Each structure stands twice: as structure tokens, then as C-alpha cells.
Amino acid sequence: MFSLFKKMMMLIVFFSFMGGLRAQTYPDHAIRFIVPYVAGGAGDIFARVVGQKLAEGFGQSVVIDNRPGANGIIGTDLLAKAQGDGYSLVMANSAPFVLNPSLYKTLPYQVAKDFSYITQGTYYAYVLIVHPAIPVKTVQELVDYARTRAVSYGSTGAGSANHLAGEFLSSMNNVPLTHVPYKGSAAALADLLGGQIPMMFDTPITTIPQLKAGKVRALAFTGKRRSLQISDIPTMEELGYKGFEISSWQGIVAPAGTPKSVVNRIYQESAKALKMPDVIEKLAKQGGNEIVASQPEAFAKVVQEELVKYAKIIKDAGIRLE
């Protein structure tokens, strides 16, 4: 019995030593940073900006691997099936992790089991904007306007966060709003500026220039607090819409089974990178991002909480994608 106990203790000490050794030697070759979206988009920019700093901090190459398709599912599933050794990471965002589990009947990965969460890098929300020709200056006036005539709104695609924002507004007020999906924010905003659609929920970074030019009117912000860039615009919560927070984020995730020592090492370098002034400046230009740099446990908690929140919104709206 004693001999067995002694062997078990020796194994514990050995694996603890190996875990510490991994942390000291990690990384000793290039890291693959998967981006589940096309090159040039906000997610790709996040990965390239942060990835460059990680490469400098680690002294190893960080290779960006764009694997777009299926609302982020293809690239996210690729990570889920990778070895949990810290040499494969993914640029995570809200769609694959907290929206897709409720939007799709089946997914090839399980959010709760297949990943090790490292850090939530950014947070951003949306501005409810309308064409100036629409005779409304408040959200309540918009709701009343929609009760008397057909009102449509644009989004960056079916199941996107700004699509859900419109559905949430519709269900909270029991007023019909017609969703018009686009293949990106630029196309939707162009139609709003041209008067083809009267409203949409857009990111601050693309809204602000049009707002300053008087080409759109901003009614509210969907974040948990006011936007730093347009602080005079009230949140939906401030306007009496309790619980109305529709936001998105970008982060870094590794496969399940990644040693805690390696997770902590990646987190430390990621958090350091996200607090660098040039990184903050570059990411602020992409959608009005606020830097978060949360610890792994806090990031995992955000994912679990948002899974529940968006499941209800998606169910109430009756949205289901194939």
C-alpha cells in the first residue's frame, strides 16, 4: 500500500514538474492563429495586431491562418479538433461561441467542452441609427412610427448580433420590424444612406463619420454603458429598455486540454499586448473596441452567461439557420 502511495506521489510530482517545464520552454516553435473569417476584416485585424505582439513576446512566429465560412464554424471547429498544446489558437468572437449554439440545430463542436478560454480581448456594441428623413428623434418615437407602417432594418447577415438587436427591439415592444440581411456593414449602411432602408444597428466606428456629416441620426447605444466615442448617445437601458444589451467581443481561445501553465503563459503575453498604446489605438479604429484583457476564468464566465442570454433572444425571435 505504501509503495503504491509513494508511486502515486512521485507521478504527481513528475507531472507537476513537467507542467512547469512546459511553461518555461513554451513556445519552442511557431504558433498557428486561426481566424474563422476572411482577411482584412475586423477579426483578421485583431489577430494580426495581437499576433505580432505575441510573436515579439514569445520570440516565435505567429502564423495567421484564415479559415472563413459558415458563420465562423469552419475555423472554430478546426481549433476544436487541434491538439491542446498551445500551438493552435483561434480568434474567437461572439458568433461561433454564443450565437451559433442557438442558431444552428447541430454544431461540430461543443462550446462547453472543446475549448480552453484565454482572454476576452475587446468589447463593442451597436448604435441604433435612422435615416434623417424618418420623422423620429427617440426610440419610443421609432416604435410608435413602426406601429403605423412597415419598417425594415438592415444587418450584417442572418443571425448576426445587429440582426438580433432588431429582433430584440421588435419583441420587447411587440411591434413588427422586417429584417433585411446584407453581406456586410458597408452594404447595409450604403442602403440606409440611400434611403432604401430606414434603420439599422451599426458599429460606432462606421456610424460616427456619417453622424458628424448629418447623414444619419443616432437614437441609442446597445452597450452596457455609453460609448466612449459618442458619449452623448444614451444606452437602451437608460431609455427604459431593461436588459437591452446587445454586444460583441473578440478574444483568444485554445483547444480543450491545453495545460493551465501554457494557458496562463499565453494570457500573460496577450494581456501585456492588449495594454500597449499602439495596440489600443489600432483596435479602437475597428468598431469602437474597448480593451478588456480579462483573465481566463472571467472570459469563460462571459461565454456561459451570454449563451443563456442569446438563447432566449433567438428562441423568442424564432430564428433558426441550417
- Domain coordinates of the chain in residue numbers? 2-123+248-317, 127-221
Return all residues near 289 (Cβ < 8 A) that are at least 6 apart: 122, 123, 124, 250, 283
Q: In 3-state terms, what secondary structure has residue 241?
A: coil
Fold of 127-221: D-Maltodextrin-Binding Protein; domain 2 (3.40.190)
- The residue-averaged pLDDT of 32-53 equals 92
Judge whether residue 120 has pLDDT over 50: yes
CB 76 within 8 A of CB 115: no
Report the DSSP beta bridge partners of residue 92.
Answer: 251
pLDDT class of 92 with cuts at 50, 70, 90: very high
pLDDT digit string, tens, across residues 248-278: 999 999 999 999 999 999 999 999 999 999 9
Using CA atoms, how far apart are residues 126 and 221, in angstroms rounded to an integer? 6
Mean model confidence pLDDT for the chain: 91
- Rounded CA-CA distance 223/311 in Å is 18
For residue 66, which phi and psi values (nearest 5 degrees)?
Answer: -75, 120
pLDDT of residue 2: 47
Q: How far apart are CA 205 and CA 75, in angstroms?
A: 26
Whether residue 21 has pLDDT greater than 60? no
Of the two residues 286 and 228, the one the predictor is more confident about is 228
Q: Please enumerate in sequence order all residues whose Cβ is within 8 A of that of 1, keeping only pairs 6 or more positions apart, or say none.
A: none
> For the chain, what percent of residues have pLDDT higher than 70?
92
Residue 307 scores a pLDDT above 90: yes
Q: Is the pLDDT of residue 11 over 60?
A: no
Residue 291: enclosing H or E segment and its boundaries?
Answer: strand 290-291
Q: What is the pTM of this model?
A: 0.83
Say whether pLDDT at 20 is over 60. Answer: no
pLDDT for the residue 294: 97
Average pLDDT of the residues in 136-143: 97
Domain 2-123+248-317 CATH assignment equals 3.40.50.720? no
pLDDT tens sequence across 153-210: 999 888 889 999 999 999 999 999 999 998 878 889 999 999 999 999 998 888 889 9
pLDDT (mean) for 100-123 = 96
Res 54 pLDDT > 90: yes
| Domain 2-123+248-317 matches domain 127-221 at the CATH topology level | yes
